[in-house]
Amino acid sequence: MQVHTGPGLAVRALWFIFVGWWLSAIAISVAYVLLITIIGIPFAFAIFNWLPAIITLRSRTELQTVELRDGVTYVSGGNVPQLPLWIRAIWFLVIGWWLGAIYLSVAWILCVIVIGLPIGLLMFNRVGAVMTLLRY
């Protein structure tokens, strides 16, 4: 069972057609400009986390998997152990920033050609893993 919140499909489709596809390209560009500065890095990753909402009004936490067993409801989620910050920082400085650019470009193109929208949105949801080895 999945719990849906937020705007309906028609509103989200209209948003994507008229605003989402071009606004997401601008957001990605702004985020990469912010990555140039040390102070802008947290803001850039905040923008990256908001990309699914920018392109289709769907937040990362909109869908939660709910399981019913023996009358008890279980909601997926939790803390996943992360790699040490210094390893993630080195990855980002050496590989993550350029691999992330390629990855985001492919995800955006998949979204814009509409047939690849589901795959593109999945990719947007995992940009942190590509750029900084974030574990979900």
91, 133 Cβ separation under 8 angstroms: yes
pLDDT band at 2 (very low <50, low <70, confident <90, very high): low
Instruction: For residue 100, give the H/E element and its range.
Output: helix 97-112
Is 25's pLDDT higher than 60? yes
Q: Which pair of structure tokens corresponds to residue 134?
A: 């974030």
Rounded CA-CA distance 32/24 in Å is: 12
Rounded CA-CA distance 41/27 in Å is: 14
Rounded CA-CA distance 74/92 in Å is: 35
Chain-centre distance for alpha carbon 108: 11
Q: What are the domain boundaries of the chain?
A: 2-132
Q: What is the pTM of this model?
A: 0.77
Name the maximum alpha-carbon separation found in the chain. 52
Dihedral over alpha carbons 4, 111, 14, 1 (to 10 degrees)? -10
85-118 pLDDT per residue, tens: 999 999 999 999 999 999 999 999 999 998 998 9
Residue with tokens 């309906």: 8
